[in-house]
Structure 1
Amino acid sequence: MPKVTPLPDKDALLACFKFPEAADYFLEQFEKILKEAGGDVYKKSEPILNKIKDFVKNTHYQRDDRGFPWDGDMQMRTDFQNLQHHLAEAAIRTITAIIKGIVKMDVAVSSVAQLLRGYSEEGVALKGVPVDSLDKLFNAWLAENNYLSKGSVIYQTNEHGEIVKDKAGNPLRADPEKVMQLMSDEKKGFGKFLRDRGLEVIVQQHRYPEQAPAADKRHEAPGTKKEKAAPAPQETRPEVPSTSEAPQSGGRIGG
C-alpha cells in the first residue's frame, strides 16, 4: 500500500507563515513531498505549489527590510505597508524593463468611491503584465496614504491595512474628492510617487461616467452635434494582495 502523507490544514499553514524562515522550510518540505509522490502528482499540484511560493514571497515582503536611514528610507513600516512597499519595488523593476515611453493613467472615482482606471502608452492601451505592475504601484501608493482598493471601491484603512468601520460597523469608503486631490498633489501624489521610482506617468483625472437618463436622448434636437467627450477610463479591479489567508492545501498526497 503506498505511503500516504497528510497535508497540513489552514491553521497550520498560517502558523508556518508567521516567520520567513518557517515559510521557507515549509515550502522546501512541501515540494519534497510532491517530488517523492511522483511526477503526475507533482504536475497536478503545481497550482497550489505556485500559490504557496507567492505566499512565501509575500511573507518575506512583510517581514524583511523595513527601511534603512543611511539609504534615505526613514519610514518604519507596518507589515501591511512593508508588503506593499516591496511589491511596488518589484513592480518597478518589472515595468521599467517593458515600458520605455511615458505612461498615461486615466482615472475616475465616483461619489461612492468606486474606482475606474486605465493605462496607456503613446495612445495604446496597456494590457497584461504592465497593467498588473501599475496596479501594484497604485495599491502601494494607496497603502502609503491609508487607503485600500477592494472590489473596485476605495476604502479608508489604518496603518495595518484594516478597513476602518463607521459607528454602525460598516466599511468606511474613502472621500472621493480627497482621494482625487491627493492623487494630483505635487508632493504626495501618485505621479510624484512614480517619478521618485524612475517612472514617468501622466495622471489624467475624469468625471465618473454616470448613466445618462433616457429622457435626455429623447429631447435632443435632430442633427445636434455633441462635443467629443474625453476618453473614459476602463473599469478594473486592482486588489491588494494579503497574507491573511493561507493557500488551501486540502487532501492527501500518496507516495
Structure 2
Amino acid sequence: MGTLRTIHLAVLKLQSHILLKVPSPSSSSSSSSSEEESSQDQSTTTSPLTFDEGMQILQQSVYKDYINDSPQLVSNDNHKLVISAYAGAKGINYFTLTLFGSNQVKIHAEFGTLDGGKFTNLHDVDAPEYQTVTRPNATASTSSNDNDSSSTIQSVPAKFIGKWKKTDSFKTESDGKKYEYAKLFHATSNSILLGETYTDCYKYTVSSCKSLGPNDYAVETKVPITNESQTIYLHYYSKDKIGEKFNSSDDFTIFDSRAPVLNYDASEW
C-alpha cells in the first residue's frame, strides 16, 4: 500500500506540473486580442485622408492635368478616398487614393466616358494606371482644415475648383435663340479666371492661399499683363454656392450654379 500511495502522489505531481506549463484557452485568446488591439491602435494613429489633401496629392502627381473640371468626392473612409473629375462633354475620370504605411499613397486612375449612360474605361490615355507617392507631410490632413486660420497652401482649395456662374439675364437675339448673360468664375489648382459672357475674361495666377477661418480664404494672385499682386477673397457656402470679392470690406459676388451657360461657347471659358 505504501508503494502504491507513493506512485499515485508522483503521478498527481507530474499532472500538476504539466497543467502549469500549458496556457489556458482564455489566456491565449486574451493575448491574441491584445495583439490585434495594439495593431489597430497603431493603424489609427495615422491621420486619415481628406478631400483637400487628396486634391493636393493629385495636383502633385502625374494626374494633375486630369482633375481641373469640377472634382468631386465620391466616397471615403479613414485610409481610402475616391475623387472624380469630368473630362469634356461626356468624359469622367476616377482616382482612388489608398493610404498605406505611415506616409505612402497609392493612386489608381481610371479614365473613361459616360457615353451610353454607363461608365466605360478608356485605355488610350497617355497616363499610367497607378502611381505611388509620398504623403506631403505627417499632418497634411489637418493642415488643410477649414478651421485652421494659420493654414497656408500653394493652390486653390479643392472645393472651389471648377466652373461657376451667376446668371444676370436672358435675351432672345435676332437668330431666334435665347442667350444667357452671366458672370463667370473658373478655378483650377493654380489659377482663377473671372469675367462675364461675351466680354474679356481675365486669368489670375495663384501664388498662395491662406485660410481665414471656417470656409474663408485669401488667395494671393498675380494680375494678368501687369503681374501685380492682387488678393482675391473666397467664401464657400455649399457645393453649389461660393462667393468672391477683391476687397475684404465689400460684399461677396455670389456664384450659385455649376450648370453650363445657355448658348455660350464654353471652349472660350
**Does the alignment reach a TM-score above 0.5?**
no
Bigger radius of gyration, 1 or 2? Answer: 2
Q: Which has the higher strand share?
A: 2
The structure with higher relative contact order (CA 8 Å, sep 6+) is: 1
Q: TM-score band (shorter)?
A: under 0.3
Specify which structure has the higher proportion of helix. 1
Please, what TM-score do these two structures have when normalized by structure 1? Answer: 0.22
